[in-house]
Amino acid sequence: MANDLFNSFMTGPDEKGRFGQFGGRFVSETLMPLILDLEAEYEKAKTDDSFWAEMDDLWTHYVGRPSPMYFAERLTTHLGGAKIYMKRDELNHTGAHKINNVLGQILLARRMGKKRIIAETGAGQHGVATATVCARFGLQCVVYMGAHDVERQAPNVFRMKLLGAKVVPVTSGRGTLKDAMNDALRDWVTNVRDTFYCIGTVAGPHPYPAMVRDFQSIIGKEAKAQLQEREGRLPDTIIAAIGGGSNAMGLFYPFLDDKEVNIIGVEAGGKGVNAKMEHCASLTGGRPGVLHGNRTYLLQDDDGQILEGFSISAGLDYPGIGPEHSWLHDIGRARYVSITDTEALEAFQLCCEQEGIIPALEPSHALAHVMKIAPDLPADHLICMNMCGRGDKDIFTVAKALGVEMDAGG
């Protein structure tokens, strides 16, 4: 890692949308003019006080920000090591961090005069957030969701429908997040003139990775200020789960130049990071490639064909990762580890029992890594993990994994 004091990790992406070799704009010509328009509109909005004033107002009164910084006292005692804080983004309106970004993109869509919003969703959290904000602003909303995910995330599908969105089950491929993104891109290319594609993570063609990161950075900015107030200093370690990586990028970004802060991203290890690819750990088990508009680490075979990932968590079930994470991985500024389904389930249960918080399966992965490292760290070591979503949507999946029979209708 470069130690030059003047070398900032926060200057990316460059004018080509690259973080080192990662990122870029690998899209068809039909979309390219719109992507350039979006970039120009975002650049204008970024420095427009009225844009951020509107965001702040909605964040405060609609989403409920700032989210609390919670000292997980019983978990800390139970693990007997580092002091554990949770950034409670699961308390946001709609139950996850996703809405932070959706608000920003919908305000941009309004500025661009787009009346129709499309989105892809895995666990359904981004779909719910998009449907919510579209309802709030009276915009038409279409959500693409893998057929397999529609099945395992039924409560979120119903939520989206209640909010007036049209949910399109995607049957191509294996019917997960990757396939939903393909179909959303097909819709976009067909309806490019009136449609805004609200991407849910820090991936896709430039400017999406940077734009989504900027909208999610509210997490890290608040965390920094809150820990300063509570502890009078920076955390020693920050930890977040990664599918595409938006909650992680949001937490990490404001800390990138605080070189004393350890940054750990937790990928979904599924059944274990082995040769059979029954996991979604792109950085641990993949190599650089080009998919969905950007170059990044991907799960792929020797012939460059994309592999289907595997995870108990629908929100992490994606064979790629945001390009900025790939860059942070390669330059060594952040460390990336993986957690298996079994470990995540253990963390899920421990969090319920010790803290009275039912976490989503996604942050359960981050928590599982906290459980691994906290016991060996001193009591004055501050860990901040991002509790990026609540687990109501996951109780059926967890019940099934634990062998509990539950009647979804009852």
Partner 1 sequence: MTRIDQTFERLTAAGQKAFVSYVMAGDPDYETSLELVKGLPDAGVDIIELGLPFTDPMADGETIQLAGQRALAGGMTLDRTLELTRTFRATDQTTPIVLMGYYNPIFSRGVDTFLTQARDAGIDGLIIVDLPPEEDDELCLPTQKAGLNFIRLATPTTDDNRLPTVLQNTSGFVYYVSITGITGAAAAQSSDVAPDVARLKAATDLPVIVGFGIRTPENAKDIASVADGCVVGSAIVSELASGKPVAEVLDFVRSLADGAHSAEIRIA
- Binding residues for partner 1, rule: CB under 8 A, are 16, 24-34, 172-173, 178, 182, 185-186, 189-193, 289-293, 295, 298, 300, 302-306
Q: Which CB atom, from 39 or from 394, has the smaller least distance to partner 1?
A: 39
Q: Which CB atom, from 156 or from 176, has the smaller least distance to partner 1?
A: 176
Q: Which CB atom, from 4 or from 303, has the smaller least distance to partner 1?
A: 303
CB of 182 to partner 1, least distance (A): 5
Q: Which CB atom, from 129 or from 291, has the smaller least distance to partner 1?
A: 291
Question: Both tokens of residue 90?
Answer: 């699961």
Torsion region of 272: left, alpha or beta (phi above 0 gives left; psi -120 to 50 gives alpha): left
For CA atoms 318, 324, 325, 327, the dihedral sign is positive
143, 160 Cβ separation under 8 angstroms: yes
Q: Which CB atom, from 154 or from 192, has the smaller least distance to partner 1?
A: 192
Torsion region of 204: left, alpha or beta (phi above 0 gives left; psi -120 to 50 gives alpha): left
CA distance 296 to 123: 22
One-letter amino acid at 176 equals T
CB of 185 to partner 1, least distance (A): 5
H or E segment at 142?
strand 140-146
CA distance 245 to 208: 12
CB of 137 to partner 1, least distance (A): 25
Q: Which CB atom, from 204 or from 359, has the smaller least distance to partner 1?
A: 204
Residue environment code for 4-32, b if the CB has 16+ CB neighbours within 10 A, otherwise e: eeeeebeebbeeebbbbebbbbebeeebe
Q: Which CB atom, from 23 or from 95, has the smaller least distance to partner 1?
A: 23
Indicate the burial class of 383 (C-beta count within 10 angstroms; 0-12, 13-18, 19 or more): buried
CB of 190 to partner 1, least distance (A): 4
Instruction: Choose among 77, 72, 129: nearest CA to 103.
Output: 129
CB of 308 to partner 1, least distance (A): 9
CB of 39 to partner 1, least distance (A): 11
CB of 307 to partner 1, least distance (A): 8
Q: What are the Cα distances from residue 280, in Å, to 106, 227, 264, 311?
A: 29, 32, 16, 6
Residue 346 backbone phi and psi in degrees, to 5: -65, -45
CB of 274 to partner 1, least distance (A): 21
CB of 300 to partner 1, least distance (A): 7
Say how many CA atoms lie within 13 Å of 169 toward its Cβ.
Answer: 13
Q: Which CB atom, from 34 or from 212, has the smaller least distance to partner 1?
A: 34
Cα 111–chain centre separation: 25
Instruction: Choose among 276, 285, 265, 389: nearest CA to 328.
Output: 265
Cα 353–chain centre separation: 25
CA distance 234 to 258: 8
Q: Which CB atom, from 9 or from 144, has the smaller least distance to partner 1?
A: 144
Q: Which CB atom, from 68 or from 173, has the smaller least distance to partner 1?
A: 173
Q: Which CB atom, from 64 or from 304, has the smaller least distance to partner 1?
A: 304
Residue 38 backbone phi and psi in degrees, to 5: -60, -45
CB of 341 to partner 1, least distance (A): 24
CB of 291 to partner 1, least distance (A): 6
